[in-house]
């Protein structure tokens, strides 16, 4: 394999040994010790091949970083000055390591003790499959590199957003949530066939299903959390749910206290937009101690049900009172089955606005309002 080349733009002091060898070919370089003196063997040494990394291990994977380590033969190990790391999304794993023979690989890292942390160099995306391969390299005085053969290709997948990342999203969502408006019901729009199916095949109870991949790519609830989607936004002038819907002309309405009360926990799940001026916030309501509650407790920031910027329930004069944020569209996931008999189903009078659908919607990665400084 032809060694990649790097332009050597930075001047640096040269050791006595470097002064002697800078005009010699690689095959005639005299070995130097760490102090810059000639080695005790003053003869001309033939350059040995650099060790090839093997048994590569990937660990401590987050949504935007990982640690990498490997084994290599001790022979010529002390000549290694740098590591070349080639990282690709899995679908590109068969692409050439170099687009041009004189262009180095994607990362040139100084030879530091292993494991080495890789973070931010490629703006790693969360829950994305990657391939990685490694070379060892020895930088020469003229700026060129002598390199080993490439290691085997290893595959790994980055992680979801952590609670730390979701808290950053939460804080950005709080900025635009707006004032709170009263609500009295949660509602779910579907086609008539959906409700007929629930009655005939599920004993009248709507069943939780796995959340789709809409929203932030790193959201830990996408494709994992099981729940039932509800809406709770109201029209500013009427205080009632809007008559339009993207999800079907039949609407199930249920009193807010049936789903959201002191016996439930509330979690923040996501904040996103779809190349539009309005933003969505996903909240999760889970009965205390339920499987959904245990899932969320480990992964999502928990909100105080009486005091948060998005959805609250509090008691006033012995009656539960509910409020929702005015300036974001709330999508509420309830994690347990819901019997239709607890509410009512009726046809809406408005339009079916498909443009408002969030099913598998892709988040705008360029929006400064709802993105955080990690992979999209």
Q: Give dist(CA 78, CA 45) in Å, integer.
A: 15
* Residues 185/255, Cβ–Cβ less than 8 Å: yes
pLDDT average, residue stretch 141-148 = 88
* 172 and 67 in a common domain: no
* 232 and 302 in a common domain: yes
Task: Enter the pTM of the model.
Answer: 0.76
* Residues 245/353, Cβ–Cβ less than 8 Å: yes
Q: What percent of the chain has pLDDT over 90?
A: 51
* 255 and 132 in a common domain: no
Q: What is the pLDDT of residue 358?
A: 62
* 171 and 299 in a common domain: yes
* 226 and 175 in a common domain: yes
Residue 365 lies in a domain: no
Residue 224 lies in a domain: yes
Helices and strands of the chain, counted as H and E runs: 5, 22
* 167 and 153 in a common domain: no
pLDDT digits (tens, 9 = 90+) for 160-202: 999 999 999 999 999 999 999 999 999 999 989 999 999 999 9
* Residue 322, Cβ density class (10 Å: 0-12 exposed, 13-18 middle, ≥19 buried): buried
Last residue of a domain, one of 104, 136, 158: 158
* 180 and 205 in a common domain: yes
pLDDT of residue 98 exceeding 70? no
* 317 and 204 in a common domain: yes
Residue 7 lies in a domain: no
Most confident of the ranges 34-38, 127-131, 139-143, 184-188: 184-188
* Residues 337/227, Cβ–Cβ less than 8 Å: no
pLDDT band with cut points at 50, 70 and 90 for residue 63: confident
* Residues 53/134, Cβ–Cβ less than 8 Å: yes
* 240 and 91 in a common domain: no
* 170 and 151 in a common domain: no
* 329 and 217 in a common domain: yes
* Domain region containing 214: 163-347
pLDDT of residue 335 exceeding 60? yes
Report the CATH number that the domain containing residue 117 is assigned in CATH: 2.60.40.10
The DSSP code sequence of 137-199 is EEE-TTSBEEE------EEEE-----HHHHHHHHHHHHHH--SEEEE-EEEEEE-HHHHHHHH
């Amino acid at each position: 394999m032809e060694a990649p080349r790097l332009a050597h733009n930075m001047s640096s002091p040269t050791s006595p040994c470097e002064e002697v060898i800078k005009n010699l070919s690689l095959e005639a370089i005299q070995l130097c010790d760490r102090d810059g003196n000639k080695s005790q063997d003053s003869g001309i040494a033939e350059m040995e091949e650099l060790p090839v990394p093997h048994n590569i291990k990937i660990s401590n994977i987050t949504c935007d970083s990982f640690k990498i380590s490997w084994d290599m033969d001790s022979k010529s190990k002390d000549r290694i000055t740098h590591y070349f790391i080639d990282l690709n999304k899995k679908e590109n794993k068969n692409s050439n390591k170099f687009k041009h023979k004189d262009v180095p690989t994607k990362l040139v890292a100084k030879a530091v003790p292993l494991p080495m942390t890789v973070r931010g160099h490629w703006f790693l995306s969360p829950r994305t499959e990657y391939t990685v391969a490694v070379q060892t390299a020895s930088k020469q005085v003229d700026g060129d590199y002598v390199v080993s053969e490439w290691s085997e290709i290893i595959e790994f997948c980055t992680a979801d957003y952590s609670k730390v990342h979701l808290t950053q999203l939460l804080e950005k969502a709080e900025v635009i949530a707006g004032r709170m408006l009263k609500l009295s019901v949660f509602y779910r729009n579907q086609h008539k066939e959906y409700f007929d199916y629930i009655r005939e095949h599920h004993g009248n109870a709507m069943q939780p299903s796995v959340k789709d991949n809409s929203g932030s790519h790193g959201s830990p609830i996408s494709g994992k959390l099981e729940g039932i989607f509800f809406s709770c936004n109201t029209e500013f002038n009427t205080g009632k749910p809007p008559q339009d819907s993207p999800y079907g002309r039949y609407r199930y309405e249920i009193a807010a206290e049936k789903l959201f009360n002191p016996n439930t926990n509330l979690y923040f799940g996501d904040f996103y937009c779809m190349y539009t001026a309005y933003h969505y916030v996903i909240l999760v309501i889970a009965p205390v101690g339920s499987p959904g509650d245990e899932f969320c407790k480990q992964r999502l920031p928990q909100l105080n049900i009486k005091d948060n910027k998005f959805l609250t329930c509090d008691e006033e004069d012995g009656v539960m009172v509910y409020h929702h944020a005015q300036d974001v569209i709330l999508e509420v996931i309830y994690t347990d089955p819901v019997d239709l008999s607890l509410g009512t189903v009726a046809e809406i009078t408005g339009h079916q606005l498909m443009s408002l659908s969030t099913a598998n919607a892709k988040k705008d990665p360029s929006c400064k309002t709802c993105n955080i400084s990690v992979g999209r």
